[in-house]
Structure 1
């Protein structure tokens, strides 16, 4: 087993956009990065760009106990420890309430909440073991943490996007419900809720309901992840940073379309 002297971040999912940029941001800040995604092609491109600064794994699934245990094993084999986990659950296709079938609900809608719950359990067990093996003084300064990245569906729904709203809201609830138990073990868990690029591309009308008129850039989301895993956020847990261009606060207060025409 290799052992890295640098802090290690495990990124689960998001290899094409957010995970890709997050790997670059953290590697530039001196972290070792282990990125797992089912998209082997995207991982190959990241590896070619970042080289030895990142290690990758492309399991057949990143939502089951088996897949997540394989990710932990890969990270431990590559770097010897895990200090933070960034979990980016996949957004299901947007579907109306009436178009959701029960079997599909079980298979796709619940999957992100189940995956986050499993990841919190599997990786927190490793973090606890690491702190138990540390010198007591070093253990007191350890700052293990989880960050989950959600779309705005975690807060509220949009027309025709019942599937995304319930999936993301359930996943956020699963993450927050673990906060108290993990805090007792000195492990933090926080979330980022953002207008993710895919949602903007699928629903152009979002611009008219977002005061700043755009989605969150992957670079902005990655910098927020970097803050939440830093010592500067060491007293934050159970919180959500909202990167929505003012939509949740100002939606309905101003009409961008009218302002552009005036």
Structure 2
């Protein structure tokens, strides 16, 4: 059976490494790209040797094409795309600076839309992978965005993060409809990240399960949404919030 190829755009602090490990474990060729030298260096120690790491810009057409080229030249195709947008630094409306804000919003929305554009063009034109085992509904590929909980709910001090993360939700919805005719699915994962549990001491009191999602759980969710088992799922958001969105108030 031919190996599918998965590209990860953005490594984050822990999640990108976990996604790379999980897809590699399940037989995917993996390319992981990030604009940060430090994150690339850290990932070299955290992911299997067979994962290709690419250092480059991910918010311009040229940068995204370069990442795509790395995957195609190495493995001949791309089947899945996992996008992990940067999380903006804490700020408030009182801190608002128009130029900085404009750059952050443009970076988030343009980067997400360009990623869909550049990679979907390649996915839609390539031959399908050979099927084996149980016949499933045909799918050309899948795109999954991994977002922070601020995409769905906010709190003081996360002004720009909330706006930029929630803006990507529009890209997911519109992209899912636009690309459905090409059998390319677009979904999102909204997760309470491990970093929030470390930063906010009251996370456990606002979450029925008492903790944030761990990176491996986010990776498992991304693998499911990219798999043939999720062939009917598009335009959806998978929440990994430990029940927080169903809770009114806090737990004693």
The TM-score, its normalising length taken from structure 2, stands at 0.91
Q: CA separation of 1:110/1:209 partners in 2, compared to 1, >3 Å: closer, same or farther?
A: farther
User: How many residues end up aligned between the 2 structures?
Assistant: 250
2:174 matches 1:181? no
Give the C-alpha shift of residue 32 in structure 1. 0.4
Mapped to 2, the partners of 1:246 and 1:114 lie a distance apart of 31
Alpha-carbon distance in structure 2 between the residues aligned to 1:227 and 1:200: 24
Decide whether the 8 Å contact of 2:124 with 2:140 is kept in 1: no
Counterpart of 1:81? 77
Instruction: Report what 2:51 is aligned to.
Output: 54
Map 1:12-27; keep pairs closer than 5 Å.
Answer: 12-14=9-11, 16-27=13-24
Change (3 A) 1:164 1:15: closer
Structure 2 gap ranges (5+): none
Match for residue 39 of structure 1 among 18, 36, 40: 36
Indicate the SS of the match to 2:183. Answer: coil
Q: Verify: 1:166 aligned to 2:163, yes or no.
A: yes
- Paired with 2:60 and 2:248, the residues of 1 have a C-alpha distance of 37
1:241 paired residue number: 238
Equivalent pair of 1:110/1:170 in contact (CA under 8 Å): no
Which aligned segments of 4 or more residues in structure 1 are displaced greater than 4 angstroms? Answer: 48-52
Structure of greater Rg:
1
- Mapped partners of 2:242, 2:230: distance in 1: 22
Partner of 1:193: 190
Deviation at 1:211, TM superposition (A): 1.6
Structure 1-normalised TM-score? 0.88
The offset of 1:5, in angstroms, is 3.3
- Structure 1's 211 and 51: CA in aligned 2 closer, same or farther, altered over 3 A? closer
What CA distance in whole angstroms lies between the structure 2 residues aligned with 1:85 and 1:48?
Answer: 22
Aligned to 2:116, which of 111, 115, 120?
120
How much does 1:50 deviate? 4.4
1:6 and 2:8 aligned: no
Match of 2:100 in 1: 104
1:48 Cα offset (Å): 4.9
* Aligned with residue 71 of structure 1, among 45, 67, 82: 67
SS of residue matched to 2:91: coil
